[in-house]
């Protein structure tokens, strides 16, 4: 009788699980994608994913290169086009412009940013359904066992990044116009040696090569103003040797093993990475991370 009871309980649990799958599996990723009237491929701004909470950013662009927007987008993640999604989430359309950003013609300063959970490495299909529209977008997300760049909890490389103390000509240190001089005063190695928490962004304002890179340096500088007077340091490092793209990535980009640009890292006083952002992000997203991950409140939160 005891074995029969255990068997019946297991059978009931299995039936409940199957029923749950049936309820949740009313449509596959492909069916949901084709349900929309406008089907597009997502222009992903992120690529270095690891198991856990996955941050994705993307643009939705039609065949005429027009940006398609909505306040939010429903996200679904599945193992294949014919599979039922195993995880869902929401992406929000955010501004990636900094306080002083002047967008160039054709430059996008809006981006969808969302989070979705992937518990194991693999190649997955990401579906985005734009709220209040008939637009559906699809893209691939490759989750690897280990991050390419320094991951959360990893020690930050002690790079001797250039500063105004080593190179007086700011034009050699930054391609931003006007120069972001306040982001060029402290090196990564100096901040680590002084046990100062810091934000470092690897970006090239002039030679940004993708539609999803955004004015990251403007955003970082805007957040720097909010933390003015605190121990948090803010650092900008360019991408290319001598600021010439044809010469390839510079020493510091190679030290951090960056596969793309831009990248922004938050490093604690213990010298370990607390958060990382691939591609563009909003001022509010970065500011919230600095406050939460570095544990220091802003002195000028509305700057």
Can you give the residue ranges of every domain in the chain? 29-143, 170-294
β-strand 135-143 against 38-44: which pairing, if any?
parallel
Burial of 5: CB neighbours in 10 Å, binned 0-12, 13-18, 19+? exposed
pLDDT of residue 15: 32
Q: Is the Cβ–Cβ distance between 114 and 54 less than 8 Å?
A: no
pLDDT of residue 164: 97
Predicted pLDDT at 6: 35
Q: In the prediction, which pLDDT does 102 show?
A: 65
Sheet holding 263-267, edge to edge: 233-237, 198-202, 263-267, 273-278
> Which among 157, 279, 300, 175 is positioned nearest to 232, based on CA atoms?
300
Tell me what pLDDT residue 136 has: 96
Residue 182, phi then psi, degrees to nearest 5: -70, -15
Q: Does the structural domain 29-143 have CATH classification 2.60.40?
A: yes
Q: How far apart are CA 299 and CA 293, in angstroms?
A: 16
**C-alpha closest to that of 301 among 217, 237, 236, 228:** 228
Both tokens of residue 276?
A: 């990382």
Residue 2's pLDDT is what?
A: 39
**3 state SS of 264:** strand
How much is the pLDDT for 20? Answer: 31
pLDDT tens digits in sequence order for the chain, 303 residues long: 334 333 333 333 333 333 333 334 469 999 999 988 999 999 999 999 999 999 999 999 998 888 999 999 999 999 999 999 999 999 999 999 887 666 554 567 899 999 999 999 999 999 999 999 999 999 999 999 999 999 999 999 999 999 999 988 898 999 999 999 999 999 999 999 999 999 999 999 999 867 677 789 999 999 999 999 999 999 999 999 999 999 999 999 999 999 999 999 999 999 999 999 999 999 999 999 999 999 999 999 876
> What's the topology of domain 170-294?
Glutaredoxin (3.40.30)
CA-based nearest residue to 243, from 235, 252, 256: 252
pTM: 0.88
- Strands (E) in 49-208, as ranges, are 52-60, 72-78, 87-95, 110-118, 122-130, 135-143, 198-202
| Residue 214, pLDDT score | 75
Cβ 243 vs Cβ 204: under 8 Å: yes
Contact 295, 231 (CB under 8 A): no
Query: What is d(CA 55, CA 112) in angstroms, rounded to the nearest whole number?
Result: 11
């Amino acid at each position: 009788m005891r074995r029969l009871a255990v068997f019946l309980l297991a059978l009931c649990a299995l039936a409940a699980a199957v029923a749950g799958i049936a309820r949740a599996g009313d449509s596959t990723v492909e069916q949901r994608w084709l349900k929309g009237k406008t089907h597009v491929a997502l222009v992903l701004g992120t690529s270095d994913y690891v198991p856990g909470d996955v941050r994705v950013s993307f643009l939705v662009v039609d065949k005429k290169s027009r940006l398609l927007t909505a306040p939010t987008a429903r996200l679904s993640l599945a193992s294949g086009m014919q599979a039922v999604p195993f995880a869902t989430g929401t992406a929000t359309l955010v501004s990636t412009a900094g306080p002083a950003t002047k967008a160039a013609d054709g430059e996008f300063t809006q981006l969808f940013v969302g989070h979705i959970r992937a518990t194991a490495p693999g190649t997955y299909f990401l579906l985005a359904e734009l709220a209040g529209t008939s637009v559906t977008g699809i893209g691939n997300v490759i989750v690897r066992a280990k991050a390419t760049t320094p991951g959360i909890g990893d020690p930050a490389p002690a790079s001797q990044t250039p500063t105004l103390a080593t190179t007086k000509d700011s034009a050699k240190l930054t391609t931003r116009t006007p120069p972001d001089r306040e982001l060029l005063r402290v090196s990564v190695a100096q901040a680590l040696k002084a046990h100062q928490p810091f934000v470092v962004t690897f970006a090239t304002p002039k030679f940004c090569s993708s539609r999803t890179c955004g004015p990251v340096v403007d955003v970082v500088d805007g957040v720097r103003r909010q933390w003015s007077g605190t121990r948090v340091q803010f650092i900008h490092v360019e991408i290319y040797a001598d600021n010439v793209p044809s010469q390839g990535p510079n020493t510091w980009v190679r030290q951090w093993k960056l596969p793309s640009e831009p990248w922004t890292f938050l490093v604690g006083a213990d010298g370990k990475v607390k958060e990382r952002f691939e591609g563009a992000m909003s001022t509010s997203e970065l500011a919230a991370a600095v406050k939460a991950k570095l544990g220091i409140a802003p002195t000028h939160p509305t700057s």
